[in-house]
Structure 1
Amino acid sequence: MKKLSELRSAIKHMFAKRFFRITAGLSLVFFLLSVILPLWQLLPEIKEQVAIPLHYNIHFGVDLYGVWWRVFTIPLIGFIILVLNYIVAGIMWPKDKVISYFLWTATAVSEFILLVGITFVVLLNLTYI
């Protein structure tokens, strides 16, 4: 219980800094976009499909097919990164603040990369449907 209150206190102090509020906000926006984009563009059309394209290779074309819910693997990875980096940055804040800065920067960058990835998966499916 004491450790949990220390973690809450560290996270509260960490988010007092403007940098963490901005990177957390960007990460959350990128994550929400990576969830909303396939829900909005793909879900109505792909639920009836047996298999949908999940990966495109320039040499072979579509080389990975799967069921419709596998499209949400990328947002799931983004959610795991967001939560783990939030917890680890809070744990590391009292010990080494630089690691917390690095983790939140890495979170925002990785969420953006995952958003680009899910955008390409959505475009691939809109092309092949």
Structure 2
Amino acid sequence: MSKQALYQKYRSANFEEVVGQEYIVQSIKNAVREHKVGHAYLFCGPRGTGKTTMARLLAKAVNCEHPEKAPCEECDNCKAANNGTHPDIIEINAANETHVEDIRDLIDRSKLAPMQGHHKVY
């Protein structure tokens, strides 16, 4: 049996499960529904406030094949995002990837078109 941190085990799987960020959730849901998602979002705040969760949900929602209920959790893009295998959703650990080579690689990859989804998300 592998150990899993509580924040990973109980991470919100959709916008409705997010607690304490109602204004942010509604703003992002509106942007996705109206196809007015900004080119960049910066999530900041203390540990445990949902920054990573919101970023993952946004990445999943903009690539979901059913934008009216994004993320739908049923389409191939949502399933791949949940499994961590979506080729267009790249999660960067800034604490570990701070070398010049890492940044150059990131810039090079950002120039490529999405392979599976509608958008590349870093």
The answer to which structure, 1 or 2, has the higher relative contact order (CA under 8 A, 6+ apart) is 1
Tell me if both proteins adopt one fold, taking TM over 0.5 as the criterion: no
Which is helix-richer, 1 or 2?
A: 1
Which is strand-richer, 1 or 2?
A: 1
Calculate the TM-score normalised by the size of structure 2.
0.29
